[in-house]
Structure 1
Amino acid sequence: MLHKNTLLFAAVSAALWAGATVPSQAAVVASLKPLGFIAAAIADGVTPTEVLLPDGASEHDYALRPSDVKRLQNADLVIWVGPEMEAFMQKTVGTLPPQKQLALAELESVKPLLMKGSEEDEHEHGDDHHDDEKGDGHHHHGDYNLHIWLSPEIAKSSAVAIHKKLVELMPQSRAKLDANLQNFEAELDRTDKQVSTVLTPLKGKGYFVFHDAYGYFEKHYGLTSLGHFTVNPEIQPGAQRLHEIRTQLVEQKATCVFAEPQFRPAVIEAVARGTKVRMGTLDPLGTDIKVGKNGYMQFLTELSNQYASCLKGD
């Protein structure tokens, strides 16, 4: 009897040990959390959605770990903005077959919606360009603003493209994928109207953002950004730039200055000190939101509330 139990224990241990070393099951893997929100809505009930970039990390300077490479290689589908945004993924994604990857900024439906990047990107970096090891294109995203997940319009196009890919990969789940897409589009329209209601009264109130990420959201909802501190949040703006911003805050009667959760607002506190400008926080990656089918709606709602709470100045 003892011998039998020992054998059983050994068998169970071996199975558990084997399970622990097997790579995680294939899934949809999104580079950034907001892309994960969109993907999770479409893949809901069909296949799990995982996010590559951990909370608190920045897409501007992330480096893949060996476990990340494995996750990408084992994924059913990898969703990213594209090589100019997530440069850290380019090498690994380049080895994947075309049907298992989706670069959203390269979609024909998205290209016409892309906004140009900041004119001052290049010279703004001139006097702060001291980390040479990152000086190979991490500091700007080509000619376009690639924070495309902040556009409800591009989110809808992205959902359609993710749906198409998953139907090709999992035709047996077509009915569920179709229903998920319909539900996402309906919920997005409803949320878009709600957010417009919150933000419309705030049109014309000027503010500064910490980094140049919010153009799509601002354009869509008609908000009035007076400018940004930096294009790449990894680089602290220089003294001259801070002086310019402080002057603009006062002259243009800015209502608010917005920081971001993963970047210390000391620089913002220094600029706002002694002025009547309020400080708020915007989270362009939805750090506190769970990846799930309603994640993108929560993301838009939360961002609109972050703008409103500071701009209203209740």
Structure 2
Amino acid sequence: MKAVSLSLFAAAAFFTSVGAGTAAPDVVVSIKPVHSLVASIMKGVGEPKLIVEGAASPHTFSLKPSDAAAIEKADVIFWVGPGFEAFLEKPLEALASSAAVIELEDAPGLEKLPFREGGAFEAHDHEHEGEEAHEHAEAGHADHDSHHHEDFDTHLWLDPMNAKAMAAEIEKTLVEADPANAALYQANAAALLKRIDDLDAELKTALQPVKDRPFIVFHDAYQYFEHRYGVSVAGSITVSPETMPGAERVKQIHKKVSELGATCVFAEPQFEPKLVRVVTEGTSARSGTLDPEAATLKEGPDLYFELMRGLAGSMKNCLSQGT
């Protein structure tokens, strides 16, 4: 009996040491949704370092000295790519010479949707004239330069199938960087993929009753979510979150809300909510909040699921009112 006890103790000690016996690689991740996927796959091995923390937005982020130090020390760095985190492009070139830098926008199996031009999603609107035409062109050009090096929408994680493609690339990279912990990365990734599939089925069911009701968003961040779940985003208040719309643009969106009978207009936590009040004033549209980059959520393995459920819940709650 004593021998059996010793054997069980030895086995437990062995499996405990699988994740702890070798030093975990230093992993740095740009934004919260991607960090959540990486943290899930690294569970039991180590914790990745997040750059865009708290309520900060990648659209307006400035790198801190501690972030630069983490990049310089990193073994692996995950980011969406220069089309989304423009602030990281030059620091990675200068500081990450010894790291494996993975652009997840290049992950095999991703579905990429074309970048949409204009606050109301028209590819070309020849009715814009004068000052508003100039404002619209300038805002669209700035947004394309700073966040769309390629002609596709970079909010890729808002389709769970893209999150699965990213997770597969994260797993592959970590296994190559740290083969001693390969079995744990693989087991964690398999569990994550199953969890994402369950989430996808849950969101389809939740959104089915409201998917045909039109609504307006603060900026055009939700195309992948729309495409996956068939919800009816009718336009955005601003072309780019860095460029606040002028009076003419706000007037046009107000008119669009009235004409479409849009049931809800959604703000975002990091940006000016009073614009939503202006756009909905005098209409029957309600207001709500969507958080596509998880500004209000605590980072960690569960964040991706909280983010996606939060989007679906906010949409369903606002769009269901008055029915």
Cα offset, 1:65, TM superposition: 1.9
Q: Does structure 2 conserve the Cα–Cα contact (< 8 Å) formed by 1:152 and 1:192?
A: yes
State the secondary structure of the residue aligned to 1:279.
strand
Residue matched to 2:7: none
Q: Which of 232, 247, 256 is matched with 1:248 structurally?
A: 256
* 1:34-66 alpha-carbon deviations (Å, 9 max, x no partner): 111111111111121221012222212222122
Q: Over aligned residue pairs, what C-alpha RMSD do you find?
A: 2.3
Residue matched to 2:306: 298
Q: Does structure 1 conserve the Cα–Cα contact (< 8 Å) formed by 2:42 and 2:185?
A: yes
Q: Distance in 2 between matches of 1:261 and 1:207?
A: 18
Q: Distance in 1 between matches of 2:248 and 2:232?
A: 24
TM score, norm. by length of structure 1: 0.84
Q: Does structure 2 conserve the Cα–Cα contact (< 8 Å) formed by 1:40 and 1:291?
A: no
The 5-angstrom pairing of residues 251-270 of structure 1 reads 251-270=259-278
Residue matched to 1:166: 174
Cα offset, 1:189, TM superposition: 0.7
Residue matched to 1:119: 117
Q: Distance in 2 between matches of 1:299 and 1:98?
A: 33
Figure out how many residues of one structure are paired with residues of the other and give that number. Answer: 286
Flag the 1:192–1:130 CA change in 2: closer, same or farther, 3 A: closer
Q: Does structure 1 conserve the Cα–Cα contact (< 8 Å) formed by 2:82 and 2:147?
A: no
The 5-angstrom pairing of residues 155-234 of structure 1 reads 155-234=163-242
State the secondary structure of the residue aligned to 1:226.
strand
Identity %: 36
Q: Distance in 1 between matches of 2:104 and 2:291?
A: 21
Cα offset, 1:27, TM superposition: 3.0
Structure 1 gaps, min length 5: 1-24
Structure 2 gaps, min length 5: 1-23, 125-131
Q: Distance in 1 between matches of 2:144 and 2:224?
A: 26
Flag the 1:64–1:136 CA change in 2: closer, same or farther, 3 A: farther
Residue matched to 2:101: 101
Flag the 1:271–1:130 CA change in 2: closer, same or farther, 3 A: same
Q: Distance in 2 between matches of 1:135 and 1:143?
A: 11
The one-letter amino acid paired with 1:146 is T
Which range moves more in the overlay, 119-128 or 174-183? 119-128
Q: Distance in 1 between matches of 2:137 and 2:65?
A: 29
The one-letter amino acid paired with 2:34 is L
Q: Does structure 1 conserve the Cα–Cα contact (< 8 Å) formed by 2:83 and 2:147?
A: no
Q: Distance in 2 between matches of 1:256 and 1:136?
A: 27
